[in-house]
Amino acid sequence: MKETRVARITFVVTLSLAALLLLCGAAVAQTQIQGVIDGRSGATMTVKTADAGNVVVLLSDSTQVEEVEGGLHMRKKTMGMTALVPGLPVQVKGSYNSKNQLAADSVKFKGSELKTATDIQAGVAPAEAQLQAQQQQMAQQEAQIQQQQAQIQATQAEQAKHDQEIAAQKAAIAAANKRFGELGEYNILGEVTVLFANGKVVRSLIQVRSI
């Protein structure tokens, strides 16, 4: 009986130690961060923290999203994933996976801070849409300017070619006019004395037409 009782006590102590070790391991594996949501993409969001920098948080269907109020955060309200908007200060608990992502078990935030972040996003979204529209308009205008410049350059090249053709034609006409003008010019190349039978001497000029 005594040995059986000792065995039972040993078994209970062993189970207690094993449970304690499991709890300690779970506590060590759990991580808690505080920061501001810097971006959201699908099932992940980036939380900007003061000490750990940017942390990628992995969200899942099992992640508890809660809005808390009060000094001790005793009042809680379950919220959807859509409440996790950029600019919202959050407290995230979870454990890191093999991709160095913090798999979130819970995400908590204050209701007042959610309202502030939502109001900011409501003002940022139209501004971003307007900025994108302006950028698209500027890109279209730039494309039109480049097209117009290409047309101007093509026109200038065609005009330069036309001017060269006109200059060549003028040069040809001037050369032809010069040749035709020189056809009527005569040069005195020399003089000869001709003796006639009656004894008179007449000096005559021999004119030669040069072409």
Q: From CA 188, how far away is CA 208, in angstroms rounded?
A: 7
Query: What is the tens place of the pLDDT at every residue in 175-189?
Result: 877 777 666 555 556
Taking only Cα atoms into account, the Rg of the chain, rounded to an integer number of angstroms, comes to 51
Q: Which two tokens stand for residue 195?
A: 């003796």
Q: Which of 190, 193, 196 is nearest to 208 (CA)?
A: 190
pLDDT exceeds cutoff 60 at 152:
yes
Q: Which of 5-14, 111-120, 168-177, 179-188 comes out lowest in average pLDDT?
A: 5-14
Work out the percent of the chain whose per-residue pLDDT is above 90: 23
Question: In b/e form, how buried is each residue of 139-169, taking b as 16+ CB within 10 angstroms?
Answer: eeeeeeeeeeeeeeeeeeeeeeeeeeeeeee
Q: Which two tokens stand for residue 32?
A: 């808690």
pTM assigned to the model: 0.45
Query: What is the tens place of the pLDDT at every residue in 37-53?
Result: 988 888 999 999 988 88
The pLDDT of residue 14 is: 61
Residue for token pair 């959610």: 114
The pLDDT of residue 71 is: 58
Query: What is the tens place of the pLDDT at every residue in 84-103?
Result: 988 899 999 999 999 999 99
Judge contact between 95 and 53, C-beta under 8 A: no
pLDDT exceeds cutoff 90 at 141:
no
pLDDT exceeds cutoff 50 at 61:
yes
Which residues have a Cβ under 8 Å from the Cβ of 37 and sit 6 or more positions away? 45, 46, 47, 48, 84, 85, 86, 87, 88, 89, 90, 117
What does DSSP say about strands 89-96 and 201-209: parallel, antiparallel, or unpaired? unpaired
pLDDT exceeds cutoff 70 at 205:
no
